[in-house]
A and B are shown apart, each in its own frame.
Chain A
């Protein structure tokens, strides 16, 4: 059974940093692109970033470019999102998703990031 378990969310002040993790199981992690999608409270979905199977290619939505870094450790079956210079508008539930845009077939339960003073 495919499982994606996010962690690392919490309350952080504007300008602060946070690192999200996603532990994957039930499939061969290194065979899939991986993605982070976020959802602000009561709002729709926004694709944040995705990363190639071997980590050699990374793509970011403009609103996070230069502030967020997606990475992965295939030996640990884990996906990460390092978030720096956080803003109030980054407040959202962050979902770990298996696959890139062509796939995006399994989603984790999400982790809430709240940016507030």
Chain B
């Protein structure tokens, strides 16, 4: 199975400051269809996950432009340009290139 490794696992951030989460996969996530099926999800406390970014860098509808995704191959990053209070929660990367699909362990973002 493809192992997804996120870092850091805990991310204390001051409001208005940037934040960055790394996600590394144990195999290349380039699919035979030419796409890289790497997504990012955000789960607020007590809520279900919400997709933020799909195929590495595409923001979902309604997702603020302070969120951005980048990367290629096995190395991916989610960046928040200026953290707001509503950004707290756990962020997960997920790969859907290789079956079984797998998630990272999650990165818990909190406000300092």
Query: CB within 8 Å of B: which residues of A?
Result: 44-47, 59, 61-62, 95, 100-110
How many interface residues does chain B have, given as a range? Answer: 20 to 34
Query: CB within 8 Å of A: which residues of B?
Result: 35, 37, 39, 41, 47-51, 54, 60, 92, 94, 96, 99-106
Is there contact, CB below 8 Å, between A104 and B100?
no
- Name the residue among B39, B100, B106 with the largest chain A CB count within 10 angstroms: B100
Is there contact, CB below 8 Å, between B48 and A95?
yes
Is there contact, CB below 8 Å, between A45 and B48?
no
CB-CB under 8 A from B102, the residues of chain A are 47
Is there contact, CB below 8 Å, between A107 and B50?
yes
Is there contact, CB below 8 Å, between A109 and B48?
yes
Q: Quick one: given A45-B94, A101-B96, are A108 and B48 in contact (CB under 8 Å)?
A: yes
B105, closest chain A residue (CB): A44
- Name the residue among B47, B48, B54, B103 with the largest chain A CB count within 10 angstroms: B48
CB-CB under 8 A from B51, the residues of chain A are 104-107
Q: How many A-B residue pairs have CB under 8 A?
A: 49
Give the residue of B60, B92, B105 whose beta carbon is less than 8 angstroms from that of A105: B60
Known contacts A47-B103, A105-B51, A105-B60, then 20 further A-B pairs from the complex at CB < 8 Å, ordered by chain A residue: A44-B106, A45-B49, A45-B92, A47-B94, A47-B100, A47-B101, A59-B99, A62-B100, A95-B48, A100-B96, A101-B94, A102-B35, A102-B37, A102-B96, A104-B94, A105-B54, A107-B50, A107-B51, A109-B47, A110-B48
19 A-B pairs whose Cβ atoms sit less than 8 Å apart in the complex: A44-B103, A44-B104, A44-B105, A44-B106, A45-B92, A45-B94, A45-B103, A47-B101, A47-B103, A62-B100, A95-B49, A101-B37, A101-B96, A103-B54, A104-B39, A107-B48, A107-B50, A109-B48, A110-B48
